[in-house]
Amino acid sequence: MGYKDNIKLVEKITDDIDNNFEEIGVIKRYFSRIFTVLSVEIREKLLNLNLSEKVKKIIIKDLAFLTEQKQNEYLDEFKKKKSNR
């Protein structure tokens, strides 16, 4: 197999990936794991808060860049402030 054959093979693979990207299960699973930033426990805590969906989305954005421990602390503090009202 020569250099030109390798280029043709790479182009074919690239075209196949471009055309069938969403159908490739491995890639879908990979990206779903990357973007699952909230654990089940954190999601349940968030769902149990009596807040609008708009506010929950804002909180999710805040939680996304925190460690799970900090996410727990954030929600616990939020819940305390909410219950003191």
Amino acid at 55: V
What sign results for the dihedral spanned by CA atoms 28, 34, 38, 40? positive
Give me the pLDDT at residue 58, please: 87
Q: What is the 3 state secondary structure string of 57-85?
A: HHHHHHHCCCCHHHHHHHHHHHHHHHHCC
Query: When comparing pLDDT for 82 and 77, which is higher?
Result: 77
pLDDT level of residue 65 (50, 70, 90 thresholds) = confident
Q: What is the pLDDT of residues 29-55, one digit of tens each?
A: 665 554 556 888 998 998 888 888 888
- Is pLDDT at 56 greater than 70 in this prediction? yes
Domain residue spans in the chain?
1-36, 38-85
Give me the pLDDT at residue 28, please: 61
Q: What's the rounded Cα separation, in Å, for the pair 46 and 42?
A: 6
